[in-house]
Amino acid sequence: MSTSGAAYQKCINPDCGAEFDCGQALFKCPQCGELLDIQYNWDKIEVPDSLSNFAKRWANRKDPLDFSGVWRFRELLGFCEDKYKVTIGEGQTILQQNDLVAEYVDMRPGCLYLQYEGLNPSGSFKDNGMSAAFSHAKMAGASSSACASTGNTSASVALYAHSCGLKCTVLIGSGRIAFGKLSQAMDYGAQTIQIRGDFDDCMRHVQDVCTRLGLYLLNSLNPFRLEGQKTIMYRIIEGLDWTVPDWIIVPGGNLGNSSAFGKAFYELKQLGLIKQIPRMAIINATGADTLTDLVNNKKLVWNNGKVEQKVIDDYYADLTARNFSPHTCASAIEISRPVNLKKCLRSIDICDGIVRAVTDEQICDAKAIIGRYGLGCEPASAATIAGLKDLRTEGVIAADEQVACVLTGHALKDPDVTVNYHKDKQGEFSNPPIEAPNELEEIIKLIK
Ligand SMILES: [Zn+2]
């Protein structure tokens, strides 16, 4: 696939709008400091007439690019030539119709779908983005990479870095990372630096580290990562026989997914490949609910890119003044200064989106239900089902609408939360182990 002149980077600030070649590794507009987007000259790309044409690639899955759940949609993220594309088999995920979880949230049978991104090679959705971003890193000639992480990013970066021969450093907050994820970063060979601070501190430092040392940055302000994450939506559409659902529900942390999903639908509509854009619900944890507060209370909106920066600045200044640090058991979304905030506001605009926050208790109960009736997930993923339950109670989502919840990470990512919930009988759905004497008859008596 030739990409000559097909894609370019563009600043999202309408007052700036600066454009840059895709060969550059920038991550922020050098002219105004705002986020960058990948834009396409669609007339220079041979996009299929119908999304169902992508199904043919599966018959050719011996080709790693056709096997990849990211690159089999390559015309929709055509920013680099095939020779740079990195894949380790990401995106072989499942869209599962789940009627028992549907019952828990008071949805009709056949209406609720769970998109299991935990089935990716490193166990989270991040692999979609890393496949794209490491392809760009190779295209840009990078030799070393870095990221700040609440866990899933570091695991995915470490895996992709060694698979394509890049050095890798990850910054994590001390004591703020789930064991499953930390074990992956170490096992995959990343240099892991634990900072005495939270994710927001790590995020600030990693940007300076990358600028000073010329490292390739892999956090989700990297616009190429979001191009890979768009494919999660293509696979949901694929799972629904090339139709779109009524609603997409996604956890809200650094807001890369919601940003990518809105862009994906906008482009598909622009290309005439879908008729309707689904609505989107973004679910925060109450202990890290910046988006909820800014959108629902401060009424912050995209406004064609002219976002009221002062509202954001004042909000963050208040967090700093209060020495606020976010706290939730859903460590993957324990973020109070989401880097993709403005792109997420754009997605809310595109998808007629809404934002809600749910408590850790709601998250843990929903997680137990997903575990009991589905394939399990990490806490942040369960925010989707907890949020859906509230939205059903509010009557915002109808029982017979078609809803797809994105479960972002594998259940084994954070075993501590799971074990504590069940073992310490923390919730309604706890399933604690039963102690038994070391005697056969006594054991038999206990088995129901
Ligand atoms: Zn700019």
pLDDT digits 0-9 by tens, 104-161 = 999 999 999 999 999 999 999 999 999 999 999 999 999 999 999 878 899 999 999 9
Backbone φ and ψ for 283, nearest 5 degrees, come out as: -115, 115
Report the SS3 class of residue 73.
Answer: helix
How much distance in Å is there from the Cα of 14 to the middle of ligand 1? 8
| Residue 444: per-residue pLDDT | 96
How much distance in Å is there from the Cα of 261 to the middle of ligand 1? 22
Query: Structure tokens of 406?
Result: 């994105």
How much distance in Å is there from the Cα of 326 to the middle of ligand 1? 29
How far apart (Å, rounded) are the C-alpha atoms in residues 392 and 434? 35
How much distance in Å is there from the Cα of 137 to the middle of ligand 1? 22
* Residue 424 region by backbone torsions, left for phi larger than 0, else alpha for psi between -120 and 50, else beta: alpha
How much distance in Å is there from the Cα of 41 to the middle of ligand 1? 20
List CB contacts of 265: < 8 A, sequence separation 6 or more. 233, 244, 274, 277, 278, 350, 351
What kind and span of H or E run contains 387?
A: helix 379-394
User: Higher pLDDT residue, 51 or 203?
Assistant: 51
How much distance in Å is there from the Cα of 18 to the middle of ligand 1? 5
- 172-176-180-186 Cα dihedral, nearest 10 degrees: 30
Of the listed ranges 63-72, 127-136, 174-183, 268-277, the least confidently predicted one is 174-183
Helix pair 256-270, 231-239: axis angle to 10 deg: 60
How far apart (Å, rounded) are the C-alpha atoms in residues 215 and 140? 11
How much distance in Å is there from the Cα of 158 to the middle of ligand 1? 30
How much distance in Å is there from the Cα of 133 to the middle of ligand 1? 21
% of the chain with per-residue pLDDT over 70: 98
Residue 282: pLDDT above 50?
yes
How much distance in Å is there from the Cα of 62 to the middle of ligand 1? 42
SS3 of the chain: helix, strand, coil, percent, to 5: 45, 15, 40
Check: CB of residue 151 under 8 Å from CB of residue 123: no
| Residue 365: per-residue pLDDT | 98
How much distance in Å is there from the Cα of 198 to the middle of ligand 1? 28
- 193-156-408-198 Cα dihedral, nearest 10 degrees: 10
pLDDT digits 0-9 by tens, 199-231 = 888 989 999 999 999 999 998 889 999 999 999
Check: CB of residue 301 under 8 Å from CB of residue 404: no
Of the listed ranges 70-84, 92-106, 173-187, 284-298, the least confidently predicted one is 173-187
Residue 176: pLDDT above 80?
no
How much distance in Å is there from the Cα of 184 to the middle of ligand 1? 36
CA pseudo-torsion sign 366, 368, 373, 378: positive
% of the chain with per-residue pLDDT over 90: 90
| Residue 2: per-residue pLDDT | 46
State pTM to two decimals: 0.96
- 262-267-269-273 Cα dihedral, nearest 10 degrees: -120
How much distance in Å is there from the Cα of 28 to the middle of ligand 1? 8
167-173 and 216-217: which strand pairing? unpaired
> For residue 341, what are the CA distances in angstroms to 294, 328, 447?
10, 19, 51
How much distance in Å is there from the Cα of 342 to the middle of ligand 1? 13
How much distance in Å is there from the Cα of 408 to the middle of ligand 1? 31
Q: What is the mean pLDDT of the chain?
A: 95
Mean pLDDT, range 42-71, rounded to an integer: 96
User: Higher pLDDT residue, 53 or 152?
Assistant: 53
